[in-house]
Structure 1
Amino acid sequence: MAAASSPAPSGPIPFKDVDDGSVPEHTPKDEFGDLVAALPLRQQSILELRLYQGFWLPEHWVPGTIVFQRRFAPRPDDVILASYPKCGTTWLKALAFATAARGAYPPAGAGHPLRRLNPHDCVPFIDEIFAGGEHAKLDLLPSPRLMNTHLPYTLLPEPVARGGGGCRVAYVCRDPKDMVVSLWHFLRRSKPDLSFADMFEPVCDGTAAAGPVWDHVLSYWRASVARPDRVLFLRYEDLLRDPAANVRKLAEFMGRPFSASEEDAGAVADVVELCSFDQMKGLEVNKPGSGTAGRYRAMPRDAFFRKGVAGDWANHMTPEMAARLDEIVREKLQGTGLHFA
């Protein structure tokens, strides 16, 4: 008699634990090379950018974005975590994974995946997956799946953007001044001579990678206003001020609210502690020399944990620079109901 088949595992589970190398790479650049070559080109720091559907995307993302838009099949319980670069992506990944997977992986447990893996190893980066032609890897993940993207809402696949099929999107934004500082420090790990002005100016004129930043933020803000059941809009500064309240909000949005017994047992506090900046930065897997995360532009894992604070922009830009960026953003957001303090 044949042995009974074991039940399929329930997600989310760490992406690195299912990415066994069995899916061959097929670079979509071969399929869409001519289309990409015809797009406006701009060099920014270590990246070559192409203007695609109103946004400056890293050139190697564009073919994958086209495939993502055309062929991604969302599952009803998918959750896509979205952000502009350096706006809380790593923290959101950790919080969402620890919250959604707490049944299989108690956050206080010594064997939790986030104690041995970087958050980017737990939640796959859709932009790189599709850029490498490896989207079949996403089929290996059991439901519910957690994934993340830096694409604006308007570039998401139509089934996701229209809110159909049950797929949810959680977005985190950040004061653009702190974002610029964080992005500058991050890119200097690959280009040490990158000046702050060379990072600041493209943000101000709307040509930074994944920019214009204000259009990126507004795409998710408007979607969250129109479909709050499908798009959750979070602020990095709010996460810092009250992480527990925002973990509860995220859990409710993902369809995994904390029960009264979990609350009494301190489950929310356990998630917050596991995913705290000091806790994650202090883990061996995230210390200098621990390896890299990312495929196309691999970065040291410790590069994702610098300060994790709000207001550090004051240590890097003049009052005139801060006032200039604030005024640009204020003008772009005028009348939308969204503002930064």
Structure 2
Amino acid sequence: MAEKQLLFVCGAPKSGTTWLQRVLDAHPQIQCSGEGHFIERFTVPLAQVMRDYAAHLGLVADRVYEGQPYYPPIEQEDLDRLVRSFVLSRLMTRSPGAEVRWIGDKTPRYTASLPALLRLFPHARFINIVRDPRDVALARMHQARRANLAERVAEGTPQRVQFIREGGQDWARSVAPIAAFVAEHPGTLHNLKYEDMIGDPTGEARKFFRFLGVRHDDALLERIANMTSFEAQSGRKPGEEHPTSFLRKGVAGDWIGRLEPEALQALDEACGDLMRAYGYI
């Protein structure tokens, strides 16, 4: 593990994080898995366990040992040490070979935990992907239908507009922390847009491979692009939609003419300023 560097991939849900992860994982010098959910599903619950444990030990120390316990208080570093050990052991389960320089995990909601991840792994690097929240809304509705929740996104219903509004709020919560983190920790995060990946997959891949300091020659980029294209992964041409596939359509701008005015208004109220700051007009 001492010879590997750590990478975490994030972005608002339904923004292309899985595609980005597969592109990274296709590189011979990178092993990027997903989704470990190391913070919200492991670290946060473990922190509560340790707080409860520390409170119990404090009670015992007071009632039994008159404030002179045998064990010192639990510190943040005690939790961090356990989390580091767990994360590193999970990342190594795929047994990366000697050629692999970067080992990492993609979990969309790491956007809310970037400072914590950097504290745990001070030399880690991050890649974040942003997508037009209007296309994200369509992708979220597609996933709702796949999950047998079609009634929540039925056209012409208040539930659909509320679903889209909540999605816009979630998008904003995911995207908002990025600028401040980049300003405070320059050089640690590479930011890209889904639409740019669609338009020039090899060009965008070259940028984030260069960010990681790994090979980015034309032949390798072309091979990775072919391996991870929408057509290669889905068996369909971009724009051909499948009602039950995780990979829906593989295009940008599909929201045009498909979102009603009430839905667009809800999105604007939820995340309009941030959407326009990223150039989504």
Give the TM-score normalised by structure 1: 0.56
CA shift in 2, pair 1:191/1:332, >3 Å: same
Percent identity of equivalent pairs: 24
Change (3 A) 1:304 1:333: closer
- Aligned counterpart in structure 1 of residue 249 of structure 2, from 279, 299, 307: 307
Q: Which protein is bigger by CA-based radius of gyration? A: 2
Q: Work out the number of aligned pairs and report it.
A: 223
2:33 is the alignment partner of 1:123: yes
Return the offset for 1:76: 6.6
Matches within 5 A, 1:315-326: 315-326=257-268
Aligned-pair Cα RMSD in Å: 3.4
Q: Which residue of structure 1 aligns with residue 13 of structure 2?
A: 85
Give CA deviations for 1:126-185 in whole Å, capped at 9, x if unaligned: 21797379854334344621201122534246251x596220110111111110110111
- Pair 128,307 (structure 1): closer, same or farther in 2 beyond 3 Å: farther
Question: Equivalents in 2 of 1:159, 1:190: separation in Å?
Answer: 31
Structure 2 vs 1, CA of residues 223 and 199 (structure 1 numbering), >3 Å: closer, same or farther?
A: farther
Q: Could you tell me how far apart the structure 2 residues matched to 1:145 and 1:229 are?
A: 18
Equivalent position of 2:51 in the other structure: none
Counterparts of 1:105-144 in structure 2, within 5 Å, are 123-127=33-37, 131=41, 135=87, 136-141=89-94, 142=96, 144=102
- Listed one character per residue, the Cα deviations across residues 256-281 of structure 1 (whole Å, up to 9, x for unaligned) are 142xxx33xx2211111111101111
Larger fraction in helix: 2
- 1:201-228 per-position Cα deviation (integer Å, ceiling 9, x unaligned): 1442x4x59x532121021233234434
Conservation of the 8 A alpha-carbon contact between 1:77 and 1:166:
yes
The amino acid that maps onto 1:88 is G
Q: Is the 8 A contact 1:153 1:216 kept in 2?
A: yes
Q: Give the secondary-structure state (helix, strand or coil) at the position aligned to 1:256.
A: coil
Match of 1:233 in 2: 191
Q: In 1, Cα distance between the equivalents of 2:120 and 2:189?
A: 8
Distance 1:323 1:89 in 2: 26
Q: Which amino acid aligns with 1:280?
A: Q
1:263-274 alignment to 2 at 5 Å? 263=218, 266-274=219-227
Alignment of 1:221-260 (within 5 A): 221-258=179-216
1:232 positional shift: 1.0
Counterpart code for 1:248: R
Q: Distance in 2 between matches of 1:221 and 1:96?
A: 23
Query: Which structure's relative contact order is higher, taking Cα pairs within 8 Å and 6+ residues apart?
Result: 2
Q: Within 5 Å, give how 1:182-201 maps onto structure 2.
A: 182-196=139-153, 198=159, 200-201=161-162
Tell me if structure 2 keeps the 8 A contact 1:238–1:246: yes
Instruction: Give the SS at the match of 1:314.
Output: coil
> Cα gap change, 1:148/1:199 in structure 2, threshold over 3 Å: closer, same or farther?
farther
1:212 and 1:103 mapped to 2: Cα distance?
30
Following TM superposition, by how much is the alpha carbon of 1:75 offset from its aligned partner in structure 2, in angstroms?
Answer: 8.9
Q: Distance in 1 between matches of 2:271 and 2:104?
A: 31
